[in-house]
Amino acid sequence: MTVRNLNYLFAPRSVALIGASKRPGSVGETVLKNLLEGGFKGPIDLVNPKYRDIDGRRCYATVAELPVAPDLAVLATPPATITSLIEDLSAKGTRAAIVLAAGLGEQKKTMIAAAQPDCLRILGPNCIGLMVPNIGLNASFAHRSALAGDLAFISQSGALVTAVIDWAAGRGIGFSHVVSLGEMADVDLGDMLDYLATDAHTRAILLYVEAVTHAPKFISAARRAARMKPVVVVKTGRHAAGAHAALSHTGALAGSDAAYNAAFRRCGLLRVQTLDDLFAAAETLSRVPRLGGERLAILTNGGGAGVLAADELQDWKGTLAALGPATIEALNRVLPPTWSHGNPVDIIGDAGTKRYADALEALVHDRDSDAILVLHCPTATVSATAAAQAVVDTVAANSELVADKPVMTCWLGDGAVREGRALFKANKIPTFDSTSAAITGFMQLVDHARSQTELMRTPQVAEGEHNYDSGAVRQEIKKILDSGRGVASALETKTILAAYGIPTDKAILARDPSEVRSIAAAILKRNDACVIKIASPDISHKSDVGGVHLNLESEAAAEQAAIDMLANIKAKLPNAHIEGFTVEPMVKRPDALETIVGMSVDQTFGPMLLFGAGGVAVEVLRDSALALPPLDTLLARQMICETRISRLLKGYRDHAPANIDAIADTLVRISDLIIHHPEIRELDINPLLVDKDGVIAIDARMKLANEEANPRLPLAIRPYPAHLEREISLDPVGDVLVRPVRPEDEPAFAKFFSQISEEDVRLRFFTGRKTFPHTFLASLTQIDYAREMAFVAIKTSTKELIGGSRLVLEPDLTRGEFGILVRSDLHGRGLGWQLMSSLLNYAEHEGVEQIYGLVSVGNTHMLDMATDLGFETRTYKGDPSVREVVWRPAASVRQGATVATAQKAPAKASS
């Protein structure tokens, strides 16, 4: 549902308080007081059958008696009344309500059912309400109103809302929205992110999260919002009391908080640990438009403060700028001989305002730093306010340079520096109370810039399509499940992995020790040694029970090892079902490192992938990284780099660098495997040996479940929709693949635009520009398949991109805007028609109710094609040079141009 009717919740023209009260201290009395004192300009009507009036304001007995339907209703009534009140409000025409009551229980379902027919949106229940200070709306029972500002604070804890607004008021921090979500029966985190992403009054979004519900919706909304403005999150519950028992190492390592970290990182959200960090991040992220790099210059009038800040930067593994010779010379000219001659730049304790200004001027022009932190310790030689004014004036005089090199300030102390801090806030210069907070704020800025860069990076173009034998995997999984088992053996798991191109060692099953001897004899004819392992569905970790013997150099040794192993395990696990032993060559790769690759199903975010340090001590080392599927090679490499073992993989001393590309390729293949086969619930490959020659899976285990009887939680991110690919043939173009766009298509788009005439580009984008920056091209190719779709036409013989179409859905997913562009020399060949047909097919399947587009009147090809496909055409907002064309599934059928017939139609027109 997302943003539909949320405007009535956050920008109402009128409000009704149901359950208004005169009783001091009651919720109804507190909410009424807040509504009246907040300064809301619209009418506020009261409803309570107990009163005729409250303090001279008429009080209506029922909702039906209200003179007009309020845009927003606030329900301060007992739980038993809620459903009937929602029914009455919906019938009246109200489209948003805040339910404050707790303890609704099963009534939540009936309440939502009553609201759904007319799409009445509900905030709560069990919340304290909301505030929109910029319009004077305080529809809450908080103890005070929030200051007006441009930060949105969304919280799943009502108690924390009251604490935060009190804390923020003392620091002069204001809000565009303050929202207590409560139990989120309707409006949830995803809805709020979608609404605030495009809110012009909100510069940054701050989230206090206890738990995410509807993970796919949250992820989609968060990815969109984070590309538009900073989103900072505090998530509680970082330390679980204990981990649940898991079949696999992966399940034990992939704890819930680690899954949240992976999800937030994938979305581009900045996670912080405390409320202080939350507002430190807001101070920098909302005031600094961009950061060109990570090198920090520190300017201080106190050497100790400067060194303290530098140490704290190093603790964060930040980068202290190395000042260039030109900057050192410039500082020599304006500072006394005793200055520090390096970074931090200590301008000495007797510095006056001119010294501050001159030194800052030199650092602003320094080419070897990317941001500046100015520190001030109170002295008798200059007032803190005067020093602050010198900084403000220097920043203003260099506004263009400062736009790319932010200046932050930290005026240490209390009473003596208050006016200086206020001066910075008034001039929108980030300011902090301590060096620790300042460095934290800067490093949060760095982390956010890194995450945004990672989100926009272009993956490498794959050298070829992965050739997977999905049929073989389906057959193997069916065989296992049909046998009544939920755990695949190591041999079966390796068979599945091999079908997806993952290298494994060659193991053979032996039923008893004598068979071990004969198999070992055959193996040892070609290898120096062999390995035997116990084969049992009841033993998850073989090494823990002595179920692995390595480096067996004779068949007799192999047989005896099997006899001893069997006796030992029967003594330890008498009830374990033993299927036999696996016998395999001893893989001797002396420089190889043991890693682990796996997957498990998180209770919130669904399937999660894991990579880290492997071997028998995997849970002791706890060196791992998680990621949400689907993965591409770039995301896989980022995942690898998050682990400590990645430093060893790069090579050290006489150890050659490992083949990291092979690890990334394995992770991508595992990602595809679990996407294609939802029966897979857990997977361990441990160890996956890695060296310069590549990877090999030595041991593996898989847990399965019947998808029909026990559906797996859905993927949090919708994967590439391969089922939408189709091949067409156009004369004289030849064979063409029409498929959804991929992130790695960015270089092809850049070439494509160079082959489009300026007139065609102008008709599509209303500009004649033919070269576009990386950020724009990335926005075309790195799409969220859950809320938009783009098709590209690829000429099969040359792999050239020759056309594209796009549908961007609004957050409620019922309406979207299309665009289409075909290479200029291919007009009139039917390609535009085919691309548009793919869009309409997709829209119809997804339940989209309306598609629209803006078309220049000069684009006659597009207008003709739209008419043929059943679009309605009308003048756009009185602009005679633009037409709006609108398509609805039912309208297309009425006009005789269904999507199905459109695919078969000849190329009447193209764009």
Task: List, run by run, the mean pLDDT of 10-residue segments along the chain (911 residues).
Answer: 89 98 96 96 97 95 97 97 97 97 92 95 97 98 94 93 89 92 96 96 94 93 93 81 45 70 94 85 78 94 95 96 95 95 94 95 95 95 94 94 91 93 91 92 90 79 72 97 93 96 94 96 95 90 90 96 95 92 93 95 95 86 92 94 95 91 96 97 95 95 94 95 94 94 92 85 65 85 93 96 93 88 90 94 92 89 90 87 88 40 35 32
In a domain, 717, yes or no: no
Are 139 and 17 in the same domain?
yes
Q: How far is CA 320 from CA 261, 263, 376, 433, in A?
A: 27, 30, 19, 21
Are 313 and 417 in the same domain?
yes
pLDDT of residue 901: 37
Are 420 and 528 in the same domain?
no
In a domain, 852, yes or no: yes
Are 172 and 26 in the same domain?
yes
Are 183 and 304 in the same domain?
no
Q: Which domain CATH number covers 572? A: 3.30.1490.20
Domain-ending residue, one of 429, 450, 473 = 429
Q: Which two tokens stand for residue 835?
A: 């691309």
| Residue 29: Cβ within 10 Å count | 18
In a domain, 119, yes or no: yes
Are 177 and 68 in the same domain?
yes
**What whole-number distance in Å separates Cα of residue 47 and Cα of residue 16?**
7
Nearest 5 degrees, angle CA 177-CA 183-CA 186? 75
Q: Which domain CATH number covers 15? A: 3.40.50.720
Q: How far is CA 762 from CA 747, 756, 793, in A?
A: 21, 10, 21
Could you read off the pLDDT of 644-662 as tens digits, one per residue? 999 999 998 888 999 999 9
Q: Which domain CATH number covers 372? A: 3.40.50.261
pLDDT of residue 553: 95
| Residue 624: Cβ within 10 Å count | 26
In a domain, 322, yes or no: yes
In a domain, 822, yes or no: yes
In a domain, 830, yes or no: yes
Name 549's bridge partners: 532
Are 883 and 751 in the same domain?
yes
Torsion, Cα 33 34 36 37, to 10 degrees, reads 110
pLDDT of residue 524: 96
Helix intervals (H) in 529-584: 555-572
DSSP letter for 344, please.
S
pLDDT of residue 848: 93
DSSP letter for 124, please.
-
pLDDT of residue 457: 78
Are 24 and 168 in the same domain?
yes
Are 183 and 300 in the same domain?
no
Q: Which domain CATH number covers 889? A: 3.40.630.30
Q: Which two tokens stand for residue 49?
A: 């059958």
Q: Report the amino acid identity of residue 62.
A: T
Are 419 and 316 in the same domain?
yes
Name 72's bridge partners: 15, 96
In a domain, 658, yes or no: no
pLDDT of residue 893: 39
Are 152 and 25 in the same domain?
yes
pTM of the model: 0.88
- Going by C-beta distance under 8 Å and a sequence separation of 6 or more, which residues neighbour residue 425? 172, 431
Tally of domains within the chain: 4
Domain-ending residue, one of 124, 157, 187 = 187
In a domain, 604, yes or no: no
Are 424 and 518 in the same domain?
no
pLDDT of residue 150: 92
Q: How far is CA 848 from CA 192, 604, 802, 817, in A?
A: 22, 27, 27, 11
Domain that holds residue 850: 722-904
DSSP letter for 539, please.
-
Domain-ending residue, one of 359, 394, 429 = 429
- Do 823 and 803 touch, CB atoms closer than 8 A? yes
